Structures are given as C-alpha cells and as structure tokens.
Structure 1
C-alpha cells in the first residue's frame, strides 16, 4: 500500500437512517466517488472545501473502513487497500459529556445489586448452614442456584429496544424488593432456595441495562473507558458486599442482610426512577425525542423544556414514528439465545464465562478456606474480599484505558480519523485485533496467579501471601472479561443489552458450575490441585483469541449479510401488508 499521505480514499454524501436504529448503514458501491491519490496538503484542502460547502452539516456520523475482502490477518494492514467513506449526520447523543458520565455512573450503581446479592452473604455461609441444619455443600447450592437463575431474568428477554430502559428498572426494583422481604422473614432451606431464584431474577437485569445505557450514548472510540465506568458497580459489589455482610451477619444476624438490601435498594432505585432519563435509541433517538409518558421522568421533562426554550424544535414526523414503535412485548428468550449461534459471539461468551467462573470459584471457596485454614471470623473473612475487589477496581480503570489506547493506535496505523460522538461503522475494521491484543497477557497472568493462590491455601503460610495473589488475580480476571465484554458490545451495534444478556447467560451458567464443583474437588484433591485445574481451563482458552482475531471480521460480515437479508424480508412483508390494506380500503369505498 502507498504511504499514508498517498492513499486513495472516497468521500460521499450519504443519506443516514432516522429510524432510530443503531444499525450502521452500508453504502452502495455505486454511490462512491473515487479520487486519485494526492498529497496530504491536497487532502487537507479538499476536506476544508467540503467543510465550507456543508456548513449546516456536523462531523461525519458513520465511517466505513474497507480492508479488502481477504482476512485481515492475511496481510499486514499497511499493505491492504484502505477506503474511507465519510458521511454527515447528527450527533450520536445530544447529551453533554458530564451528563453521559452521570447517567452511566447511576446505571453502574444500580448494577451493583446483582453481584451484591450474590456475595453479601458469603461470610455467613457457615452460620446459615448451622442455623438451617444443613451441610456447607447444600448452602453452596444457594449460591449456585442464584447464578443459574441470574441470566434468566425477564428484562433481558423483553425487547428493551422497543420498551426502553426505564420500565425495566421499575420491574427489577419491584421483584428484587419482594424477594428480599421474603428472604428476611424465612427460616427454611427450601424457601431460601426458591427466594434466591426470585432475587436473582430481580437483580440481574441491572447489569444488562447498564451496558445498554453505554451503547445508547457512547461510540466505539470511547467505549472502553465508559464500559469501565458502567462496570464499576459490578466490580465493587464483590469487594464491598462481603464486608457489609460479614459485619451484619456477626453483630445483627444473617436475616438482617436482606433487610439491608431492601433499604439500600430503595435508596438507590427511587431517585433513579424519578430522575434518570430514558436513553434507549429506539425510544428517544439520540436524546432529541421526548419519550412516551410511561418512560418519562422529571429530568426528561425539564431537559426538553430547556431545549424548547433554546429554539431546538422536535421533528414531529420522527417523534410519531418512534411513538408508533413503542410497545410492550412478551418475553422472548430466543432473542438472547440466538446470539449463541454466531461463532464469534459463542467463543467470546465462553471466554467471559471461564473468567467469571474462576472469580466465583475464589469467592465461594473463601469462606471455607479462611475459616478452616486461618480460623477467621465472619468479619475477617469479609475483609479478605478487599484484595480481589481492589484488583478488580484497578482493572476497570486500566483495562478501559488500554483498550481505548489500542483502538487509537490501530486507527492511526490505518490512517482512520477518530470521530467522537459519531457512530463509526466497524464492519471491515479489525476491531477484534484492537481489543483482544490487550487481553492476551491478562489470560496467562490470571491463570498463573490463580494456581499460586491455590497452593498458598494448601500450605497456609502468612496471610500476606493470599492478599497479594488475590489482588493480582482479581486484576487479571476482571481485565479479561471486561475486554471481551467491550468487544461483544462492539460487534452488536444498536443491541448492547441483547449482547450483555447473552453474556450474562453464559458466564453465570459457567460461574454456577465452577461454584458447585469447587468444594467437592477440594474435598477430593485439595485446594492446590482444584485451583490448578480451573486455571489450566482458563489459560487453555487463550489460543481462541487468535482464532477470533483471524476469523472475526469475516464472521461479522456474514452475520451482517444475514441480518440485512432478514430485515429486507420483513420490510417486504410489511409493504405487502400495507398495500393489501390500502387495496381493501379502496374496494370498500367503491
């Protein structure tokens, strides 16, 4: 390929969709106007002239980077033909950077309840088993059953792209509160199992919603950092909740753990429901369309009033089109399971499942390990979750920045401009390489330190050793499934909640398996060999990253072709239905 200053590239004015869908529009070949190679100065002048001629237009919304039809790994990017197609369009979101951060942090706090409900009674597992007169293995089943039911929550199966985020938050709050009330009042093992299933259904939807909010407002150029913000709640939960649960369990009794969850959830969800604006793009577009009444809140009302005072009018035709699409639909679990049929998605989801499975294996084993091997109380056991949680929090900031840095590096390598607050079409961009190159070292680091942690528990040396190894293991494991999660959102533009729901399904099922088998493995072969086997499974997945980097772009193109074909078929059916109805009305008039 020629030097970056002598590339061939195309510029075209392309009509963008206002349907509210986040799905990128691929330009037709006949729409492209080819320019011969010219110098960097000529390119700058040409772009300046275009900018002058299109003053009413903002920066380009979509960018298509074509790197040939061959596999990206077949030849170096510098040798591949690069073609850019840039189009004018609206801002991806009308919200300010400060508003985006505030909304995403609110969604992150709400997502805290899923891991909090999972981990808050880890330190009390031994006490609960004695009070209910059951074995430790049976009490661990309450953790397993929670993880099994975690992905089978109604909000993920409901069409959030039609109903929006706000109704889902209301549903989660009601179910979560009702389940915690029952758990606080029961004294029966069977009741504990059933209510934990209901509690999982209410809490887990908040994780998918948080990632959905990120996809609503943030483009791929900044997604790594913002996904890190959104995942802070999920990362802080395993660190903070065992400490809270240990203190409450030791001084007030384990029933008060669930009273605490009722009070804390009310403190978080009531302001969130009153003030957090609707962000779903198929309901409010880029935030410029007022949501329907049921999805509206105080913030939406005030914000759109201020926009009207500034003279920012609403496109009534677009508003009517969005209102017509806003409807309630019954749950459809198949929409989530279909993601598993895509090879790239299935491999990514399996990787996140292995990472979270190892994480839960550490968490569920900690209560027994530090109680038996170190003689710790409930409070001290809770404090031992700080190292792994601290490593996870550090990972949220470092991995997000590393992912965004590598994305910028690849854009510079391919001479692709990074356009903030504009959606960039990644159909032919090597997004897999830009994301997964950062994850590769973390897989091996996490596996090695997990093995070391298991053998440290076996010989019961100074408590300082497991603290250090838990911190590093927490950083590595969280980095792995954090990066894979960012890539999942990237390859499903416009459907972040569906991608996250599928992610939750696989990783929670594998987490349940790892949690269920850990203690029987420990009883049979000890701590060292148990964690060694789990770590080898985790590291054994790493070569699959190479397969994704090589085949991912082709799989994405094939999936997009299938989706485009299905969309065209649905549109043809709708057109035929409308034509038949028009003909019928005409016949009735005659």
Structure 2
C-alpha cells in the first residue's frame, strides 16, 4: 500500500500537512553528524540528506515512541487527579464536616475547569510550542497540589481543586497536538491511541491509587503523591522532551530559538554536532530565525476554540462525542457511592472495583488504534488513493470521515445496551461480578468511540490540533460535569435501572449524528477549505498593498 511518490499538495492552509517546510528555509539540507548511526541517533535527529527533504517528521520511530509516551503520561495527570479523589469523598466529608453533596460540587467544578483550561493552553501550544505549555501547566498543577495537601477548610478545597484542574486540564489538548506534529494521517491511529492511553486509564487507575493512599495514609497523602509524581515528570520533560510544534521546529529538523523550547539533552546533542560541523550552526540559526519571524506571539485567545466549535461538521462530532463521554462519566462518578451503598464496600475495595475500567480501556486503546489504521488503508484502497507514511497524505478528496467513523457504529450500540444492563444489575443487587464485567465492556467500547472521533477532529484541523482538541475537551467536560451532577439525583428519584436506561437510550438514539458527519462532512469540509483559501488570498492582497 505504501507509496512515496503520489502524495498531492494540499490546496489550503487548513489541509496543508506542513504549514512550514523547513527544507525551503535551508539553503541546502544539513548532513547528519558523521559519527552518528541510525541506531545511535539522538535529539534532535539529523537524517541523511535524501531523507530530510520533504519528510513529514525527521524523528525516528524510537524517538516518536518516547515523545508519545511522555505525552500520554502528561495527559494521565488530569484524570488521575480527578479520580484518585473519588474514594476519599467519605473521609473528606467527615474531616471537613460537610455533606457528600458539597464534596460532589468540587467534582463538578473540577470538570468545568478541566473543560475551560485547554482553550487557553491549546492556543498557547499552537502559537509558542508544546514545551512552554507543558511547563506552565505543571507549575500551576504542582503548586495547587501542595496547597491541597495543606488546606483544612472546604472553601480552600474547592478553590484549590479548581486551580488543580486549571493546571492539569490543559494537558488534554497538548498530546493531540504532539501526535499531529510527528505522525502522518495513515499512522495517527496507532500513535493517538498511545497518547490517549493516559487519559482513558486515569479513571481506572486513579481510584485504586486513591483508595490505597486514603485507606492507609489518609486523604492528604493523595495530594502529596501527586506533587511527587508531577515533580518527577517535569524534571524528565525539561531534560529530554523535544519541542515538536511544526510552527517552531518545522518537521523537527530545526532547533527552536527560545530557551524554553530547548531540552537539555537536545542542546547537548546540537552543540556536539555543531562543533564537528561549524557551518551547521549558522545554517540552523538562519533557518530558525526565518521560521520564528512567521510566528506572531500574543496572549492566548481561548475564543479561537469557539471558532472551531461553530463549524457544522465539527459541531456535530463534538456534541455526540460529549454525549459518549458524559454517559461514560455518569458511571465512573457514581460507582463509588453506589458500590458503597449496595455492596457495603470500604474505600480500598471501592478503588479496586475500577480495575475492570482500566483493563477495558487498555485493551480498547491497543486494538482501536490498529483498527483505525487498518480501516484507513482499506478506505484508501477502495477510493484509489495512496498511503504515504513518510510525507503524509492529501485529505482534500479523501473520505476521512468514513475512514474514522465506520468502526464506531457497532461500538455505540453495544456500549449503550451494556450501560442499560449495568443500571439494572445495580438496581436488582445482583452479584458484584455482573456490574464489574459490564464496566469492562463499557470501557472497551466507549473508549474506542471517543478516541476515534478525537482523531477525526485532529485530521480536520492539522494546523491547530491542540486548539481542536481543546474544543473537544471543552464540550465533553461541560457535558461530563452536567452528567456527574445529574446522575445521583436521578438515581435517588427513579433508581439505577431507569436512570441508566435513559442514559443508554440517549447514546443509541443520537447515533444518526455519525451518519450526518459521514454523509455531509466532506461537503462541509470543502466549503471550509474554499472559505479559508479565499480569506488567505484576501490577507495576502492586503499585505501587498501595504
């Protein structure tokens, strides 16, 4: 299937796979360090001359795996922070002398800030680069956790949880941007699955860690654990994580101009190369300056997220993906209280009940990424298109909507039916094994649905992937906050069985929205392409007049 000869140029800024072509900025391609081999290649990679020209990303597979691993771990912090907290709710309620309802309000507030934060970090990352966004987010996050470990009142808990969410919530949008930076559309399913693994595993692993810490060390130990974990991560990130934003380093071959975008390991390798080849330094500086001049640094604009949301195809995808996430979150948010009341479990036992979620999400992430890449190749073959993993594919005439959503249909129906069954097993007080098995199937199907639609959003906005992911995060978190606030009153009013019957039916009955995107999405995408191309021509005409 693979071909390196037939990739077409994208007709406009939104569909252009490379907003900046570094090879056009360099007078001649820079040779690799003479002492480096393919196996020993380090940051930043310097491929041979024939490999560097018109390559989507110069990072090697091993380097890409490290980048995606770090990105996935970064995305792990927000759901980890949200869910380590859940088993400790009874303890917090007792120690702070407030009701469970007030403690649950901190969960809702966390979700709201989790949705709003990426709107700022996403624009910042697309403008300045991924590294500065990561560093700012983790500084805020670590400071909030220190405060949470020390606080002694409910108002302080509420405010600091919002600040904690503001720091960790921005990481959702960053890993989608990182994956779009380094991978072509044909291989994006695999890498996005790896990057999203932290996001989807957090709700499963978090309660286990939280249950263990709260049971044996008290609830404050949860926040001190997060301080230590976050501190170790930011040290490794500062030392070894390279800048990947294409507006900053192109396809990875150019060094960043700003100090905050440089890793210590990358700087050491770069200087060693420049000592061996003195002309390399001037060539790189010239190319990097030319690239930097095309960037306009400004205060991050969260309203850019709204510009994406109002696009017709995007709005449909975002709304249905938010429904999927909210339905799934109604289960994770209420599981602790339901299993405590129905089965009489303690804090640690409740935490262990989230293990099936983790297993289901892990299996889904591994399998779904491969299915997406397989289906992409299948659709490409059916439409007479080539797949170019080296340079990237032209999506202007490619039915990317069908390639991403075709495998979602059966998963939606299975997930909705299983959710209804879960509600009735709780209602009828069946053996605990029944709801646990159903949570595994729910995680397996719902995770795949969510990841598939998230990858489609990145495909539709390759030049602003973090902003597109921020739009997804905003809608899903606001919907998830509503779901978490609504589910307990529903259960108290009509019971678990009918509550989850309503939730499952909503997921199933709204599934035709997938057909809407598949049927009319290509048309709406073409209309957007023409509109953006016209806007770009108008801007260039105005510049020429000046």
What TM-score do you get using the length of structure 2 for normalisation? Answer: 0.89
**Do residues 344 (structure 1) and 313 (structure 2) align?**
yes
Cα 1:57–1:342 change in 2 (3 A) is same
Counterparts of 2:519 and 2:541, CA distance in 1: 35
Cα 1:24–1:263 change in 2 (3 A) is closer
- 2:518 pairs, out of 535, 545, 549, with 549
Q: SS at 2:56's partner residue?
A: coil
Counterparts of 2:405 and 2:270, CA distance in 1: 40
Partner of 2:385: 416
- 1:116 pairs, out of 66, 70, 80, with 80
Counterparts of 1:12 and 1:264, CA distance in 2: 43
Q: SS at 1:159's partner residue?
A: helix
**Do residues 355 (structure 1) and 324 (structure 2) align?**
yes
Counterparts of 1:253 and 1:533, CA distance in 2: 37
Q: SS at 2:186's partner residue?
A: coil
- The answer as to whether partners of 1:150 and 1:200 remain within 8 angstroms in 2 is yes
Counterparts of 2:484 and 2:237, CA distance in 1: 33
Q: CA deviation at 1:133?
A: 2.2
1:82-101 alignment runs, 5 A limit: 90-101=54-65
Partner of 1:150: 114
Q: CA deviation at 1:350?
A: 1.1
- 1:132 pairs, out of 96, 104, 107, with 96
Query: Which sits farther off after the overlay, 185-194 or 108-117?
Result: 185-194
- 1:189 pairs, out of 150, 154, 160, with 154
Counterparts of 2:462 and 2:320, CA distance in 1: 20
Q: CA deviation at 1:307?
A: 5.5
Counterparts of 1:122 and 1:242, CA distance in 2: 6
Partner of 1:298: 264
Cα 1:324–1:119 change in 2 (3 A) is same
Q: CA deviation at 1:303?
A: 4.0
Cα 1:569–1:423 change in 2 (3 A) is same
Query: Which sits farther off after the overlay, 516-525 or 353-362?
Result: 353-362
- 1:452 pairs, out of 421, 434, 437, with 421
**Do residues 176 (structure 1) and 141 (structure 2) align?**
yes
Partner of 2:528: 559
Q: SS at 1:417's partner residue?
A: coil
**Do residues 252 (structure 1) and 221 (structure 2) align?**
no
What do residues 529-559 of structure 1 show as CA deviations (whole Å, max 9, x unaligned)? Answer: 1111111111122111111111010111111
Counterparts of 2:466 and 2:293, CA distance in 1: 21
Counterparts of 1:141 and 1:399, CA distance in 2: 34
What do residues 476-527 of structure 1 show as CA deviations (whole Å, max 9, x unaligned)? Answer: 1101111000111111112110111001000000000000001010110011
What do residues 237-279 of structure 1 show as CA deviations (whole Å, max 9, x unaligned)? Answer: 1111111100111111112211111111001111112210000
Q: CA deviation at 1:347?
A: 0.8
- The answer as to whether partners of 1:20 and 1:283 remain within 8 angstroms in 2 is no
1:321-400 alignment runs, 5 A limit: 321-326=290-295, 328-400=297-369
- The answer as to whether partners of 1:20 and 1:282 remain within 8 angstroms in 2 is no
Query: Which sits farther off after the overlay, 533-542 or 149-158?
Result: 149-158
Q: SS at 1:152's partner residue?
A: helix
- The answer as to whether partners of 2:318 and 2:475 remain within 8 angstroms in 1 is yes
Q: CA deviation at 1:302?
A: 3.5
Q: CA deviation at 1:572?
A: 2.7
Cα 1:365–1:14 change in 2 (3 A) is closer
Partner of 2:36: none
Q: CA deviation at 1:19?
A: 13
- The answer as to whether partners of 2:415 and 2:442 remain within 8 angstroms in 1 is yes
Counterparts of 2:133 and 2:19, CA distance in 1: 26
- 2:252 pairs, out of 287, 295, 301, with 287
Q: CA deviation at 1:189?
A: 1.6
Q: CA deviation at 1:182?
A: 1.3
Partner of 2:35: none
- The answer as to whether partners of 2:122 and 2:170 remain within 8 angstroms in 1 is no
Q: CA deviation at 1:22?
A: 4.1
Counterparts of 1:300 and 1:24, CA distance in 2: 23
Q: CA deviation at 1:409?
A: 0.5
Counterparts of 2:350 and 2:181, CA distance in 1: 39
- The answer as to whether partners of 2:122 and 2:174 remain within 8 angstroms in 1 is no
Counterparts of 2:214 and 2:505, CA distance in 1: 35
Counterparts of 1:178 and 1:408, CA distance in 2: 46
Q: CA deviation at 1:159?
A: 3.4
**Do residues 482 (structure 1) and 451 (structure 2) align?**
yes
Partner of 2:46: none
1:179-328 alignment runs, 5 A limit: 179-292=144-257, 293-305=259-271, 308=274, 309=276, 313=280, 314=283, 317-326=286-295, 328=297
Partner of 2:23: none
Counterparts of 2:332 and 2:374, CA distance in 1: 32
Cα 1:139–1:12 change in 2 (3 A) is closer
Runs of at least 5 residues in structure 1 that lack an aligned partner in the other structure: 1-9, 26-55, 60-88, 578-590
- The answer as to whether partners of 1:353 and 1:510 remain within 8 angstroms in 2 is yes
Query: Which sits farther off after the overlay, 230-239 or 294-303?
Result: 294-303
What TM-score do you get using the length of structure 1 for normalisation? Answer: 0.82
- The answer as to whether partners of 1:336 and 1:498 remain within 8 angstroms in 2 is yes
Cα 1:418–1:250 change in 2 (3 A) is same
Counterparts of 1:306 and 1:285, CA distance in 2: 21
Counterparts of 2:481 and 2:10, CA distance in 1: 47
RMSD, aligned α-carbons: 2.6
Cα 1:335–1:343 change in 2 (3 A) is same
Counterparts of 2:145 and 2:464, CA distance in 1: 31
Counterparts of 2:373 and 2:200, CA distance in 1: 20
- The answer as to whether partners of 1:161 and 1:283 remain within 8 angstroms in 2 is no
Q: How many residues align?
A: 511
- The answer as to whether partners of 2:414 and 2:445 remain within 8 angstroms in 1 is yes
Partner of 1:527: 496
Partner of 2:34: none
Q: SS at 1:91's partner residue?
A: coil
